[in-house]
Amino acid sequence: MRFRGTYTLCLAAVLMAVIIGCSALIKFKPGAAEEFRRSLDEILSSAGENAVWSVEVIEFYSGEVIYQRNSAYSLIPASNAKLFTTAAALKFLGGEHRISTLIMTDGEVDSSGILCGNIYIAGGGDPGISRMFTQEDPLNVFREWAAEIAGLGVIQINGDIIAVDTLFAPSALESSWEWGDLFYSYAAPASALTFNDNCIDLEIYSGEDAGALSCEWYPPLEDFTVTSGLEIIADSAETNYSWRWEVPDCELVLTGVVEPNKCESIRIPVKNPPLYFLRVFECVLVEEGITVYGEPKLFGFDGTSVPADSLSLLIEHRSPPLTEIIEVINTESINLYAELILRALGSEVYGQGSPQAGLKAVDSLMFEAMIEPAGAHLVDGSGLSRHNWLSAGTIVDLLEYCRNSDFGEEFVNSLPQYGEGTLKRRKLTAPGCVIRAKTGSMSGVRAFSGYLCCGQEEYIFSFICNNYVCSPVIVEGAMDEALAQICRR
């Protein structure tokens, strides 16, 4: 692995570096190497003179650098940070690792089917109770739990349903995220108990006039209401609306303008994920014929405690294997899942479910991979923070390490190809080439890193572009064209 930075080298090392550098020219005809580099420089210049690039491309088998541009510059990587989170998770947890959610009780079921005691649900950070993994209605998971509880003869619960959300330590992580991002589903808060990506889904239907407006939501919580201040305006340029919580997770207020005869779908992140989880589960219990006389409560609040020595296990629900979760993280780039895995990583490796502990595991991975730490500064697991900095050279080093590791196949296969996930609308103009890569995007930031296979040749690449003022489509197109140029060289 190549260390990056300023070092004092002995004469032999300097000579070796010269030999290796010269060997990169062997596959080019005289003058072709310089022409190739100029062509890539010209392609990337389409992002404008204000854009800042950090780029590196190497041949995998030889490790030779065939193109670089400010490869040691540390820039904002956006979701390319997920590469480090997922690599560390595969390294230290393993692809078959599953996350458990435990449903327990401190009571007994009497002969009449009454559970005289509380239900405790201890979360492990499983992201799998969502449509992304269930392929159907994630409420079916809760229905299965209700059926198992009913199978024990329970028809009534006289105690409370209590969320044990203590695995993940309190964190001020979101303070490093943009305030405006916190309103959107891609910044949903992490919790050891997570349902439906910690969001409520709304469908807004507008008719011809002001009175013809309706709204449906999922999950169908009975104590959830929507107050609409939306106006239907036929000649409005476009739909433009906003929302706010009047009562957190219970009453939502919509304001703005919608066009007539439209259906708008929006996802609203909840404020209190574990309590939301309990409210939905209680609704399912009642729906399945189990009466609940207690209330949803959070462990540690209102004096609620867990009598650990007297709890009995009712159900252990296990997540999909980590390989499946990581494939969704890298293909669909879901921030919440990356943050959950980062905390689960910290909990498993260091006994603390915090972002800091998870990032400590990432640092351990980088140390073992002999990646120069100066090229990486990470504060979250998803890349949503603008306080993350990575260099293209550091990302290439990580990708090279992963490709050679025991989990290399799982890691490479977790990345999308063109036409999949976040690459669904991207196209490569070089037939016969296969690319698996992770995208990264936020305002003024585009990143693209992964593996390129052209016949017998294989390359590892990383492109990061910050501060461009052109359309992001132009920046993405420049990255795609640069890769096509590499395929054609």
Q: Which of 363, 362, 344 is nearest to 353 (CA)?
A: 344
Render pLDDT for 46-64 as a digit per residue (tens, 0 to 9): 888 889 999 999 999 999 9
pLDDT at position 77 is 98
Question: What does the CA dihedral 330, 332, 337, 339 come to, rounded to 10 degrees?
Answer: 60
Contact 454, 487 (CB under 8 A): yes
Q: In this structure, what DSSP letter does residue 306 have?
A: -
Statement: residue 259 has pLDDT above 60: yes
pLDDT of residue 234: 74
Q: HSE, CB side, 13 Å, CA atoms: give it for residue 236.
A: 16
Q: Is the pLDDT of residue 269 over 70?
A: yes
Q: What is the pLDDT of residue 30?
A: 52
With a cut of 50, say whether residue 173 has pLDDT above it.
yes
Whether 313 and 104 have beta carbons less than 8 Å apart is answered as yes
Per-residue pLDDT of 118-152, as tens digits, reads: 999 999 999 999 999 987 799 999 999 999 999 99
What is the predicted pLDDT for the residue at 436? 96
pLDDT > 70: what percent of the chain?
89
Residue that wins the pLDDT comparison between 156 and 306: 156
Instruction: Provide the CB-side half-sphere exposure for 174 (13 A, CA).
Output: 16
- Is omega for the bond preceding 219 within 30 degrees of 0, making it cis? yes
pLDDT at 10 over 50: no
More confident residue, 412 or 213: 412
Closest CA to 384 of 168, 87, 125, 81: 81
Return the CATH fold of 100-171+272-320. Answer: D-tyrosyl-trna(Tyr) Deacylase; Chain: A; (3.50.80)
CA nearest to 46, candidates 469, 422, 486: 469
What's residue 427's pLDDT?
A: 81
- Strand 74-75 and strand 389-391: the pairing is antiparallel
User: Strands of 108-109's sheet, edge to edge?
Assistant: 108-109, 114-116, 156-157, 291-292
Question: How does pLDDT run across 365-414, given as a tens digit for each residue?
Answer: 999 999 988 889 999 999 999 999 999 999 999 999 999 999 999 999 99
pLDDT at 169: 74
Long-range contacts of 212-217, Cβ-Cβ distance < 8 Å, separation of 24 or more: 212/260, 213/258, 215/254
pLDDT of residue 27: 54
Say which CATH topology domain 28-94+323-488 has. Answer: Beta-lactamase (3.40.710)
Between 317 and 264, whose confidence is greater?
Answer: 317
Residue 23 has a pLDDT of 39
Give the residue range(s) of CATH 3.50.80.20 domains in the chain: 100-171+272-320
Characterize the bridge pairing of strands 225-232 and 251-258: parallel
Domain with CATH 3.40.710.10 in the chain: 28-94+323-488
In this structure, is the dihedral angle defined by the CA atoms of residues 42, 46, 51 and 54, taken in order, positive or negative? negative
3-state secondary structure of 245: strand
Element (H, E) at 153: none
